[in-house]
Structure 1
């Protein structure tokens, strides 16, 4: 789907405020409500907008430990990756996991009640024999920046600059 400037303004607006009203969205992007709503639905149907969520502040709910983990698998067959990824997808404390190139296979973000709970989670993964050869743990001591959104405007400007 080819996006134009109005689509990008819609994306930026709903990303900033998922509870924005139809009327306020239309005003913000410079369209009348019906065409704006149709564009929003088109973006949703195309899968560009996957859902609307509340952003929680975990430390205000309970004291937590945020941990980043580098994981390397012993074998690199597709079945090994699939088995590991299925296991990770089923564990709610693993809030993000990326397959990466370079010296490791995966980087995961884990949110646990404390370091002991994190270690029990890792021990459980190792006990399941998912092919983990080694892992390196990085305890988050301070969150400097954590954005969940996509920098729509910056990406669009970069795209324009590359076309020039």
Structure 2
């Protein structure tokens, strides 16, 4: 999704849809409180329910709202281990990236994967029961022969911040 950044307080065009401050407020509220009743959402953005619902539907139809979901507390499932992993591939041909990404896409314990630049090829976020389970996952990746040259593991010792991206920031200058 490509958004064009206007000056502060202006509207944003995404494709053919124009987003104003009220749309951005709707998106921001929904990111934090996805199950908010529509009447409450309308009240919080200073609209009556019908126009609020129409805006919501327009945002969904435009693909700006992709889905709704719940943020699940990992702590509720007991101790879990979160590991960030930097991966460098042996080769940088298109088929090498495709093979790696296809394998990663099938592993549910790898909850996030980004292709990145700057010396490594991928950054992964892995959630497992413990370090032993993490090590087994890494051994399976290496045994799969998907072109991993090297990897670096960073075990999360304490979560500090985990919030949705601030939608309203796209209207701020700089």
TM-score over 0.5 for the pair: yes
User: In the aligned structure 2, how far is the partner of 1:120 from the partner of 1:103?
Assistant: 25
State how far apart, in whole Å, the 1-side matches of 2:18 and 2:98 are.
32
RMSD: 1.1
1:152 maps onto 2:167 in alignment:
yes
> Which residue of 61, 66, 76 maps to 2:77?
61
CA separation in 1, counterparts of 2:22 and 2:75?
37
2:89 pairs with one of 37, 61, 73: 73
1:8-43: CA deviations, max 9, x gaps? 011011112111111111111111111111110111
Q: Could you tell me how far 1:87 is from its partner in structure 2?
A: 1.0
Residue aligned with 2:36, SS: coil
**Counting helix residues as a fraction of each chain, which structure ranks higher?**
1
Unmatched 5+ stretches in structure 1: none
Off by >6 Å, runs of 4+ in structure 1 = none
Cα deviation for residue 53 of structure 1 reads 1.3
- Name the SS of the counterpart of 2:18 in structure 1: coil
1:1-164 to 2 correspondences below 5 Å = 1-147=17-163, 149-156=164-171, 158=172, 161=173
Instruction: List runs of 5+ in structure 2 lacking aligned partners.
Output: 1-16
Matches of 2:19 and 2:106 in 1, distance apart? Answer: 34
Greater RCO (Cα-Cα under 8 Å, separation 6 or more): 2
> 1:68 is paired with a residue of what secondary structure?
strand
How many Å separate the matches in 1 of 2:96 and 2:18?
36
TM-score by length of 1: 0.92
Q: Could you tell me how far 1:104 is from its partner in structure 2?
A: 0.2
